[in-house]
Structure 1
Amino acid sequence: MTPVLDLDRVTRIHPGPPAVTALADATLRVGRGEYVAVVGPSGSGKSTLLNLLGLLDRPTSGVYRLDGIDVAGLGERDRTALRGGRIGFVFQSFHLLPHRTATENVMLAQVYNGAPRGGRRAAALAALERVGVGHRAHALPTTMSGGERQRVAIARALVNEPAILLCDEPTGNLDSATSQRLLSLFDELHAAGLTIVVITHDGAVASRAQRLVRIVDGRITP
């Protein structure tokens, strides 16, 4: 089966002076339906890896295939379209617009992805129901708890039915009880077949994953 994510000897060098090798000769394959945690100390290259996987940055060398597509030769328009259709992002900060309802925040992901206007609201409502906050569909983020806001952010990430969910410290702004409920949601999504990659420094978050990948000084150790 074709991996959803396939990094083959990827290096990312930030130009200097002096030049900094943020990721070195990295090889990583994530199969469809896997749940992978990437762990490492601060400055280890986790953010660089996330930016490359999410098509927010380009490798200096090496090959990256996303869902079987070699992204190296793609222009920015094609990269943006691929990112919007194949990747759902969940960040530590929820990045919700405070004066838009939960439904409207989720619908924005469809606007940027060019989804047909007629089905956007129904798809957004279905995504909110899927993550357990359908009852908050008409609420503003300013009236929600942190856990509810993160679930809305996850609904936004899922509404375009991505091939993979990329999560960057998703529990970083949540208390321990809310974090556990969010991790249980990830367990449910994974059980339903979703491919999940979580970037984290939290051992409790990493322990829920199916596979652990370590990164130290820009080098990946499967």
Structure 2
Amino acid sequence: MKLNKIIICSILMVLFHLVGLYGFLNSDLEVLFIALVPFHLLLMLALLVISTGDYSVNIGIFALVVYLAGFFIEVIGVNSGLIFGTYTYGEALGLKLFSTPLLIGANWLILVYCTGVFLEKFKLKSNFIFSLLGALILLSLDFLIEPIAIRFDYWTWAGGQIPLQNYLGWYIFSFLLFWIFRSLDFQKQNKAAIVLLFAQAGFFLALNIWAF
């Protein structure tokens, strides 16, 4: 039986995260795999585009709005310290504009889209409850991401401490992005997106266990 694109994309997502986990945990390969982070993010985004099967105007609007909102909230945050606290980006996420990696908006897009697709499985009627739960899932992911981001030069915090302000900012901003996700009508069934969500969670959880 011919494998369909959802299965192929899902296999690639899991495979690349397993390979990445091996590379990050191997001291001889760590520098190389950190340099590959931008390419990994772009590959995951490409696999999502392939697997979604929806190339409508609405999903394009969603992607553009979330990317730009994610990028510019980080521009404001990193240059003012007013939203998430005082932090600076390292080199791991690639090319920067206004001291902010251009790919950070893509990271927000991937996280919001995958989490939103996962939550759609529960057929929640309330946009408010949907957005609350979506923001809670993203906040939980941030708890896993933060120590790894610091360890592998994604970003660093002033004083070496992650402020409570960061988690509050993440939650409020995520809530708004999930409201946008729910407000636009586009294809929100994509099993590969759910696979990617759990692959990312497993990747960062494993690094939290074994990388320190």
Query: TM-score by structure 2 length?
Result: 0.29
Higher-strand-fraction structure:
1
More helix by share: 2
TM-score (ref. length: structure 1) = 0.28
